Amino acid sequence: MKIFHTVNGLRDDLIQDRLQGLKIGFVPTMGNLHDGHLALLHQANQTNDIVVCSIFVNALQFGLNEDWDKYPRTYESDCEKLRAAGCDYLFHPDDVEMYPNGLDTQSRVICPTMTDVLCGASRPGHFEGVTTVVSKLFNIVQPDEAIFGIKDYQQLAVIRRMAEDLCMPIQITSAPIHREADGLAMSSRNRYITEDERPQATVLKESLDWIASQIRSGNRAFSELEAEATVQIERAGFAVDYVTCSNSKTLDLAADDDSEITVLGAMFTESARLIDNVSISEE
C-alpha cells in the first residue's frame, strides 16, 4: 500500500493508473477503522482495479460542542487494517493540505435540500462540511466509483444528490450496514456506550424494524408509528433525537403513495449518539 500525504503526490500516481485504463474505486473515511469500513474496501475491490482510501478527520463537519478533538486517531492500526484489506493507496492529508486557505475562507458546497432535517436538524452545518470535503476529495481522487455505507443514510442521499446536481462522473455505490453480533450498527462511537447501556442499545434497531414491519403490513399511520417507536426507545432509558418515516430519495416525510420508504432514527446514550435505518420497497 502506498501512502500519500499531499494532493500532488496522489494525483501523480493516479494519472498513470488512468493512462493504463485502470478503474479507480474510492472509500473516504475519518479513520478509527472497524469491520464496517473494511467491508467497504472489500466491496470496492470487487469492482475496481485500484482502491483508494482516505483518512481525514474533517473539522468542517463538526459542530461547536462536538468531539472533533476527541475523535479517535488510530493511524498506525488503520494502516495495518488497510493493508490486510487490499487497499492500494491511502490518502492521509493534514488540515493545511486540505484547507490551505483556512476553514474560515474555504469555498463551500451546499446542498439546499435534505440537509436541515433528521441529523441536520440537530447538527447545524454538518452536511455543509460533509459535501464540501467530499467534493474536494472527489476532485483530488477523481474516482470511477465511490462507496458509502447505508448506516449514514442521510449522508448517502445528500452525496448522491450533490453528485447528480454537479454532474460528477462518479458512480455512488451503497454498502449494507455492518452490524455487531447483537445487531447494533457498527460505529466508531459504539465504544462510548457503557456496559450497563449496551444490552438495551439495540432498541433503536428493534423499534425501526417494528415500524418497517407495520408498514409492510399496510399500516400507513406514520406519525402514530413514530410516536410508538419513540416510547419504546424512551422506555429502554434513552433520549430520542428523531424517529422518522421518509421518502427514500428525497427524505421528505413519507406520503401514503410512496413506494420507497426509509425509516430513520437517532438516539442518545449517556455519551454517544447512535443512528440506524431500515428501508422498505413495495416495487
Predicted confidence (pLDDT) at residue 199 exceeds the cutoff of 70: yes
List, for residues 92-103, the tens digit of each pLDDT value: 999 999 999 999
**pLDDT (mean) for 144-171:** 97
Vertex 138, ends 133 and 142: CA angle to 5°? 160
pLDDT for 69 equals 77
pLDDT value of residue 64: 59
DSSP assigned state of 93: -
Q: What share of the chain is helix, strand, coil (3-state, %, to 5)?
A: 40, 20, 40
Residue range 140-169: mean pLDDT, rounded: 97
pLDDT given at position 230: 98
Which regions of the chain does DSSP assign to beta strands (E)? 2-4, 24-29, 50-55, 89-91, 145-149, 171-175, 239-247, 260-268, 273-281
Residue 126: pLDDT band with limits 50, 70, 90: very high
Half-sphere exposure (Cβ direction) of 272: Cα atoms closer than 13 Å: 17
pLDDT digits (tens, 9 = 90+) for 21-38: 999 999 999 999 999 999
Q: Work out the percent of the chain whose per-residue pLDDT is above 90.
A: 92
Closest CA relative to residue 54, chosen from 20, 17, 22, 14? 14
- Examine the pLDDT at 66 and tell me if it is beyond 80: no
pLDDT, position 65: 63
Round to whole Å and give the CA distance between 204 and 177: 14
For the chain, domains (ranges, CATH) are: 2-175 (3.40.50.620), 188-277 (3.30.1300.10)
Asked about 92 being catalytic, the answer comes back as no
Average pLDDT, whole number, for the chain?
Answer: 95
Query: How does pLDDT run across 239-262, given as a tens digit for each residue?
Result: 999 999 999 999 999 999 999 999
Q: Is the pLDDT of residue 191 over 90?
A: no
CA gap 14, 222 in Å, rounded: 48
Catalytic choice (37, 92, 126, 178): 37
Least confident of 136-140, 187-191, 196-200: 187-191
138: pLDDT strictly greater than 90: yes
Q: Residue 160 is inside which H or E element, if any? A: helix 153-165
pLDDT class of 160 with cuts at 50, 70, 90: very high
Mean pLDDT of all residues in 121-141: 95
Average pLDDT score over residue span 48-67 = 88
For position 283, what pLDDT does the model report?
A: 62
